[in-house]
Amino acid sequence: MSFSKLGLSQPLLDAINEVGYQKPTTIQTKAIPIVLKGSNLIAAAQTGTGKTASFVLPILERLSAGQTERKKRARAIILTPTRELALQVNQSIEAYAQFTSIKSMAMFGGVDYAPQKQALIDGVDIVVATPGRLIDLYGQRAIHFDEVETLVLDEADKMLDMGFIEAINKIIARVPEDAQSLLFSATLSNPVRDLAKSAIDNPEEIAITKHSASKSNIKQWIVTVDKDMKSSLLSHLLQQNQWKQALIFIETKHGAAKLVSQLEKRGIAAEAFHSGRNQKVRQQLIESFKAGEIQYLVATGVAARGIDIENLPVVINYDLPYPADEYVHRIGRTGRADAVGEAVSLVSKDNFKNLCMIESRLGHLLERVEFEGFVPRKPVPISILNYVPKHKRGEER
């Protein structure tokens, strides 16, 4: 299958060529024709599968084919859970729309209203927004929804986790009833299905199966270690492997700052990325990391969604995430679109339940490695697959 067979016009094919994609990914092959014909869609797909282009390209096609005279009102809205993802989706739009006249913007909270309002006054076709700021600007009458032709809920599961349901429902209630609705989510959990049921009429449904969620181009392994030895093991791993770059996930802000200073003491320069740092700093950190100026970024889960680094060789879980789906999102930061990547997790005995949940979710055990000098005094037992946490037992029956 090639992009030219999918019904996209020349300016988009030229942009795809410029960006360097050879052929569509599975989700793109499945979703693009559905979105192009104007149908509603629910798609279960992880990040890293090429899902952004799977909705952006057909939206651009539809918008370019329609109205050519700029009405200065938003014609497509894409909702995302985080600022980082909003910026990233907007960057993708700019790349794919470079040979069209379509304009887009990213809109999110924590920054000045003025530039966003000005952009709306100048006129944008596509608004990529976090729900809170969008509803805020709608309340201020800075944006109108009456010309919206397509609404996308991107990473719907994450938006629900983050408590955006009220804002999302307000937005859904205010866009024209006949607007096309597209929902993308890593998992189609019950709350996501409920949202889809209430918001999306007669959707077509596609799923990139659970199996391909555990991507084979990512070499996943765990190192068992005692908790108090994790930071020296990490230093050892970084020094030994000399990865060009590494994204290191940790649970808390405080933990991130502490780890950065522990690494520094061992002569390893790293930066901490977490919600306690202001938006400008976070943006700069991402830019520098993308440009390769930062080798090691220690990040809390807030970064798991938005960061898209070409050729990131490794993701390290300093802490194992909870829930298991979060693990899949995190490791999806490496091995993007068929590149090869590694995902290493440092696992101590107190992470055992999380490990069981993750390995059950993947459907297989992860390769285990021990390092001389770091062999745990408290061994980590072998996981029980099909593990169901205590508080969920009974629900399955």
Helix (H/G/I), strand (E/B), else coil: 79: strand
Please report the sign of the dihedral spanned by the C-alpha atoms of residue 355, residue 360, residue 366, residue 369. positive
In angstroms, what is the minimal distance from the CB of 19 to ligand AMP? 7
In the complex, minimum distance from the CB of residue 198 to ligand AMP, in angstroms, rounded to a whole number: 26
Measure the CA–CA gap between 221 and 226, rounded to whole angstroms.
Answer: 17
Shortest spacing between CB 2 and ligand AMP, in angstroms: 10
Shortest distance (Å) from residue 383 CB to ligand AMP: 28
Question: Nearest CA to 51 among 180, 202, 191, 186?
Answer: 186
We find the least distance from the C-beta atom of residue 98 to ligand AMP, in angstroms, to be 14
Q: Hey, is 151 helix, strand or coil?
A: strand
How far apart are alpha carbons 204 and 34 in whole angstroms? 8
Report whether 210 contacts 47 (CB < 8 A): no
Nearest partner of 77 among 155, 138, 139, 149, judged by Cα: 149
- Count the Cβ atoms, other than its own, within 10 Å of residue 235: 17
Minimum separation from the CB atom of position 114 to ligand AMP (A): 30
Q: Which residue stretches of the chain are H helix?
A: 10-19, 26-36, 51-65, 83-96, 114-122, 131-139, 156-161, 165-174, 190-199, 210-213, 230-241, 253-265, 279-290, 324-331, 352-362
Between strands 150-153 and 126-129, the pairing is: unpaired
Q: Is 63 exposed, middle or buried (0-12, 13-18, 19+ CB in 10 A)?
A: buried
**Two tokens, residue 310:** 């070409």
- Whole-angstrom distance, CA of residue 45 vs CA of residue 207: 6
C-beta of 28 vs 40, nearer to ligand AMP = 28
The smaller minimum CB distance to ligand AMP, of residues 26 and 232, is found at 26
Q: Are 127 and 76 in contact (CB under 8 A)?
A: yes
Taking a C-beta distance cutoff of 8 angstroms, is the pair 388, 363 a contact? no
By CB under 6 A, name the binding residues for ligand AMP.
21, 24-25, 28, 47-53, 308, 336-337
Q: How far is the CB of 168 from ligand AMP (least distance, A)?
A: 20
Q: Minimal distance in Å, beta carbon 64 to ligand AMP?
A: 19
In angstroms, give the least distance from the CB of 239 to ligand AMP. Answer: 29
